[in-house]
Structure 1
Amino acid sequence: MMTIFAAPVFDATVIFEGQELFKGKGSASLWSEKLAAELGIAVGVQKVGTGWALCGAVDGEDCLWGIHGQRLKRISTNPAG
């Protein structure tokens, strides 16, 4: 079984503060469902600047996922992170 993190993200994206995000809420929502199924957690979508990120909590820590190289990637909105 292939992991969701290896699946290519060919949806439209935007760059906001150096982070590649989903351009539309609809495609972000579809990917949030896939990520939730793989991780077994609740995953939603969150507006970040001009784009949309996936959001959820893993081991009690709030997480955001965006895109890097057409793959899902955990991102940080903290400039030091």
Structure 2
Amino acid sequence: MGSFSIWHWLIVLVIVALVFGTKKIRNIGEDLGGAVKGFKKGMKDANNEEKDAPASVTQRVQSDDTIDVQAKEKKDA
């Protein structure tokens, strides 16, 4: 009862194809594929921009001179 066999999945696939039609399923597949390609391209572009950025922009400033604003407000009140 926990797992489905290949026959169960084929029956589900046939029912889905009958309900939605193969053209609608093909359009959904194309849209999903385009979204995945766009996401991969965006990730690749972001990595390239990060490599091309000057060192002064990508370096993070680490300082121990942080101010706790909430503690300062409590102290002043």
TM-score, L = length of structure 2: 0.30
From the two aligned structures, give the one with the greater helix fraction.
2
Q: Mark the structure with the bigger radius of gyration.
A: 2
More relative contact order, 1 or 2 (CA 8 Å, 6+ apart): 1
